[in-house]
Amino acid sequence: MYRSTDGKTFKYYDSTTKASYTNSSTSIGTTYYYKVKSVNSNNAASDYSVSKGILCKPAAPTVSINRSNGKPKLSWKTVSGATKYWIYHSTDSKNFSYWDSTTKTSYINSGAKKNTKYYYKVKAVCASNSNANSAQSSAVSIKATK
């Protein structure tokens, strides 16, 4: 297996006897290109495969929700490669829009209206490459009580 970060200059990277491979030595925000060739028991090698590029993205945050003084409070663990988090919200569970951002791993919607149910999603943001942001988290919801 050969790997490149520019899609042009490939260097030998690793070998496997399996039909799939997981590369655990990557950096968030970097696109890696791979090409492979097969080698038989007599060490005869095939031509290289067509190269394939894959952008490394951070995992979507796993968000929990509760209340802090009656207001929705979101919490999640640090996502490797993220420099900040974008908060999306909705009051109908379908139409989410950008709401706010934070560099912390929790967020309180201090402007939430009493007796309104809010739905939230969080996205991890990668500073080195905006195309490498995570997917949005699964939605969480809670009603503001104050």
Q: Give residue-wise pLDDT tens across range 105-130.
A: 999 999 999 999 999 999 999 876 67
Domain count, the chain: 2
> Of 18, 35, 56, which closes a domain?
56
* Residue 58 reports pLDDT greater than 90: no
Give yes or no: residues 2 and 49 share one domain: yes
Give yes or no: residues 52 and 69 share one domain: no
pLDDT in the model for residue 103: 96
Give yes or no: residues 11 and 76 share one domain: no
Mean pLDDT for 20-49 is 88
Give yes or no: residues 14 and 74 share one domain: no
Structure tokens at 121: 């999603």
More confident call, 4 vs 130: 4
Closest C-alpha among 18, 53, 19 to residue 35: 53
Give yes or no: residues 24 and 83 share one domain: no
Give yes or no: residues 51 and 68 share one domain: no
* Confidence grade of residue 133 (pLDDT, cut at 50, 70, 90): confident
Q: Which CATH number do you get for residue 78?
A: 2.60.40.10
Beta-carbon contacts of 107 under 8 Å, excluding residues fewer than 6 positions away, are: 73, 74, 85, 87, 100, 122
Whole-angstrom Cα distance, residue 71 to residue 83? 25
Q: Which domain holds residue 43?
A: 1-56
pLDDT tens digit string along 80-99? 888 899 999 999 999 999 99
Share of the chain above pLDDT 70, in %: 99
- Cβ atoms of 68 and 144 within 8 Å: the answer is no
* Residue 65 zone, left/alpha/beta (φ > 0; ψ -120 to 50; rest): beta
Give yes or no: residues 68 and 136 share one domain: yes
Q: What size, in residues, is the chain?
A: 146
Give yes or no: residues 131 and 93 share one domain: yes
User: In terms of pTM, does the model score above 0.75?
Assistant: no
pLDDT in the model for residue 124: 93
